[in-house]
Structures are given as C-alpha cells and as structure tokens.
Amino acid sequence: MVPRADFLVLRRLFDLARDNRPATRPALEERTGLEPDELDVVLRELERSGLVTPESHRLTMAGLTVGAAVGARAIGLEPKPPRVSSVRRRRKRVVAA
C-alpha cells in the first residue's frame, strides 16, 4: 500500500520537527521521494488546510497532532479507544432479620 502523499509529507515534517531540524525543500524532497512539482501541490493543500504555515513549511498545532497520529498508525500503533467512566454501583445492604 502506497501512503498518500499528504500523509507522507506530514509525517516527514513531523519527523523533522521532532529532530529540531528545519523543513527545507531539499530535505522534504529527499525524505518523501516526491518530485518538486508534486511537493508544491501537497504543501499548498496542507497550507490551505491549516496544517502547515506558508513559506517556512512548519507544522501548526493541528499539523503536529495529525502528523503524530499519522506516524502512530504507520508504525502499527492504533489509538486506544476512549475510556468510558465506570458507573459506580451501589451495594445492596443485607438486613439481618
């Protein structure tokens, strides 16, 4: 299965941010394997979606969240189901007769 280009770019941007490295065009082209034209299209879509800042290609807070989720899914970690608060059950009192 080939990952979607936008997920791939998000994940690579997340990796660069985690490693405290700048998200340069050459770094993204090398890490994603996308052609420059393809990378331009994907970055514009991510900017329009509010996941990446224009010009610097840094992830926004929403982009960081999505990038982390994409990465977790890529390595086989599925998010845990939400916890349902347990309902406290009342104990029945037994009355001695």
Residue 56: the pLDDT is 86
For residue 42, give its domain range: 5-74
Torsion angle, alpha carbons of 44, 48, 53, 56, to 10: 10
Gap between the Cα atoms of 43 and 83, Å rounded: 35
Residue-wise pLDDT for 71-80, tens only, equals 666 545 455 5
Instruction: Report residue 80 as tokens.
Output: 């845990």
What CATH number should be reported for the domain holding residue 16? 1.10.10.10
Instruction: Report residue 18 as tokens.
Output: 């985690």
User: Does the reported pTM lie above 0.75?
Assistant: no
Say which residue, 86 or 77, is predicted with more confidence.
86
The alpha carbon dihedral of 24, 18, 7, 2 has a sign of: positive
Say which residue, 64 or 43, is predicted with more confidence.
43
Q: How many domains does the chain have?
A: 1
